[in-house]
Amino acid sequence: MTLKLLSFNKSRKAMNEMEKETLPGVTLLGSTGSVGRQTLEVIDLHRNRFQVVALAAWGGHMDLLQEQVNRFRPPLVVVGDPSKAQGISLPSETQLLTGIEGMVKAATHTKTKVVVAAMVGISGLTAVYEALKMGKRVALANKETLVAGGQVIMNLVKKGTGELIPVDSEHSALFQCLMGHSKKDVKHLWLTASGGPFLDLSSEDMTNVSPSMALAHPVWNMGPKITIDSATLMNKGLEVIEAHWLFSIDPSHIRVVIHPQGVIHSLVEFKDGALLAQMGPPDMRVPISYALGFPERLKSGVKPLDLTRCPPLTFQEPDFKRFPLLHLAYEALKMGGTTPTALNAANEMAVEAFLAEKITFPQLPQVVEGVLKDWQSTPADSLETVKEADQDARYKAQKLIKQITNS
Ligand SMILES: NC(=O)c1ccc[n+]([C@@H]2O[C@H](COP(=O)([O-])OP(=O)(O)OC[C@H]3O[C@@H](n4cnc5c(N)ncnc54)[C@H](OP(=O)(O)O)[C@@H]3O)[C@@H](O)[C@H]2O)c1
């Protein structure tokens, strides 16, 4: 009897393993970050629907990556920085990969159906590009990829290889509001912005802003890079560019409105005057679960918004003078070519320098403006051109940061 039960349990386990093998595979790039952790929370609610094929991180939070590996036991683990890779102990069946090549291998693996791109900065570009080329669904949180390489990425999507579903909450909202509508009926896309922690701060007071003050976002709990971008409103500028590429809408039809409560995640204005909005609590698990399950809606674990307890919803125009990076993003998009690539690279460098306390808050736009001033834009129509432009802009930004630091 005991023997029979044992062999029954064994074959049951084998069956479970076989069933798991046939579930759609998810590769999660940036698993230790804010979006990455929330993606695993959603997947945890749907263990019978998805299998985690790969977990990838850079190497900054190895203890957390270890916990995630122990919990999800993926066949692949990627540590971006090879020097950190010794710090992990893996089950015998798990393969360890490193570097950007490792990220690409994980993103293009045969078992991978969905790639959640939740890494930060332009580091995501190559893996997203290769995943789309292999026909994968990319659930894109990593907006810098589209800002820097929008044309290259969208050319692939237009060719019908791969599928891009936005995870950025504003773009997920627009994607949902546009569903079933024709683009010719759209008058404006309205991106909402919380306004960040310095919404009402004067330009003079911004000179005294420290990294810790800028990292205290009033609505969202996010990684450091996007939190600083939210404080400067560059995040909204990057999102304007992201929306242009995702929905193929002219920049003059993309507007930003400040909505401090963060309840409406964005809106579409149609020709007939109708405005469709997507609302909900400010919680990334909603757009993450939407992108994973699309076109089906999955449970996200999020408590729905209680409309009777909802604060009054307010809206105001953004102040382009106090937040010049938003204006620069619109300008870069209008100039086109590699200018948004340069904008993104300069901004990444400036944010890093601000967090390291090398430059002040008002110097963030100075670095970006300095790089864009003499920028010679070329068509951003290949991965190589985009990468070259990115490197060039980084070099220029580095020089400017040095000049600022030494002055
Ligand atoms: N957080 C949000 O609520 C939110 C909302 C909308 C959009 N987004 C976008 O989603 C992306 C991720 O944001 P986040 O807030 O989750 O960032 P985060 O908390 O800083 O996490 C970033 C993740 O990327 C990894 N990473 C860092 N440098 C990398 C590199 N060079 N190559 C590959 N991976 C690298 C990190 O690994 P280590 O931990 O090992 O360093 C970490 O897993 C960003 O593009 C952001 O704009 C975020």
Summarize the confidence of residues 237-262 as an average pLDDT.
98
318 ligand 1 Cβ < 6 A? no
Q: Whose CA is nearest to atom 43 of ligand 1?
A: 30
Domains defined along the chain, listed by start: 2-166 (3.40.50.720), 209-232+323-407 (1.10.1740.10)
Q: 213 CA distance to ligand 1 centroid (A)? A: 20
> Of ligand 1's atoms, which has the minimum distance to the CA of residue 144?
45
Q: Looking at the predicted structure, is the pLDDT value of residue 4 above 60?
A: no
Summarize the confidence of residues 178-185 as an average pLDDT.
96
At residue 295 the predicted structure's pLDDT band, cuts being 50, 70 and 90, is very high
Least confident among 10-24, 26-40, 98-112, 165-179: 10-24
Q: Looking at the predicted structure, is the pLDDT value of residue 3 above 80?
A: no
Q: What is the mean pLDDT of the chain?
A: 95
120 ligand 1 Cβ < 6 A? yes
User: Does this model's pTM top 0.85?
Assistant: yes
Q: 224 CA distance to ligand 1 centroid (A)? A: 9
For the chain, give the secondary structure using H, E and C.
CHHHHHHHHHHHHHHHHHHHHCCCEEEEECCCCHHHHHHHHHHHCCCCCCEEEEEEECCCCHHHHHHHHHHHCCCEEEECCHHHHHHCCCCCCCEEEEHHHHHHHHHHCCCEEEEEECCCHHHHHHHHHHHHHCCCEEEECCHHHHHHHHHHHHHHHHCCCCEEEECCHHHHHHHHHHCCCCHHHEEEEEEEECCCCCCCCCHHHHCCCCHHHHCCCCCCCCCHHHHHHHHHCHHHHHHHHHHHHHHCCCHHHEEEEECCCCCEEEEEEECCCCEEEEECCCCCHHHHHHHHHCCCCCCCCCCCCCHHHCCCCCCECCCCCCCHHHHHHHHHHHHCCCHHHHHHHHHHHHHHHHHCCCCCCCHHHHHHHHHHHCCCCCCCCCHHHHHHHHHHHHHHHHHHHHHHHHC
Q: Looking at the predicted structure, is the pLDDT value of residue 218 above 90?
A: no
The predicted pLDDT at position 10 comes to 57
168 ligand 1 Cβ < 6 A? yes
118 ligand 1 Cβ < 6 A? yes
Q: Looking at the predicted structure, is the pLDDT value of residue 14 above 80?
A: no
The predicted pLDDT at position 257 comes to 98
The predicted pLDDT at position 160 comes to 85
- Summarised one tens digit per residue, pLDDT across range 330-381 is 999 999 999 999 999 999 999 999 999 999 999 999 999 999 999 999 999 9
The predicted pLDDT at position 43 comes to 98
The predicted pLDDT at position 219 comes to 83
Q: 120 CA distance to ligand 1 centroid (A)? A: 4
Q: Which of 120, 128, 192, 286 to mutate to test the pocket of ligand 1 (most atoms within 8 A of CB)?
A: 120
Q: Looking at the predicted structure, is the pLDDT value of residue 21 above 80?
A: no
Q: 35 CA distance to ligand 1 centroid (A)? A: 7
34 ligand 1 Cβ < 6 A? yes
Q: 57 CA distance to ligand 1 centroid (A)? A: 9
> Of ligand 1's atoms, which has the minimum distance to the CA of residue 220?
3
Q: 221 CA distance to ligand 1 centroid (A)? A: 12
Provide the percentage of residues in the chain whose pLDDT is more than 70. 95
> Of ligand 1's atoms, which has the minimum distance to the CA of residue 121?
45
At residue 9 the predicted structure's pLDDT band, cuts being 50, 70 and 90, is low
- Summarised one tens digit per residue, pLDDT across range 115-143 is 999 999 999 899 999 999 999 999 999 99
Q: 223 CA distance to ligand 1 centroid (A)? A: 6
238 ligand 1 Cβ < 6 A? no
Summarize the confidence of residues 107-113 as an average pLDDT.
97
144 ligand 1 Cβ < 6 A? yes
At residue 1 the predicted structure's pLDDT band, cuts being 50, 70 and 90, is very low
- Summarised one tens digit per residue, pLDDT across range 57-78 is 999 999 999 999 999 999 999 9
- Summarised one tens digit per residue, pLDDT across range 386-406 is 999 999 999 999 999 999 998
Q: Whose CA is nearest to atom 5 of ligand 1?
A: 168
Q: Looking at the predicted structure, is the pLDDT value of residue 306 above 90?
A: yes
> Of ligand 1's atoms, which has the minimum distance to the CA of residue 59?
40
Q: Which of 29, 119, 169 to mutate to test the pocket of ligand 1 (most atoms within 8 A of CB)?
A: 119
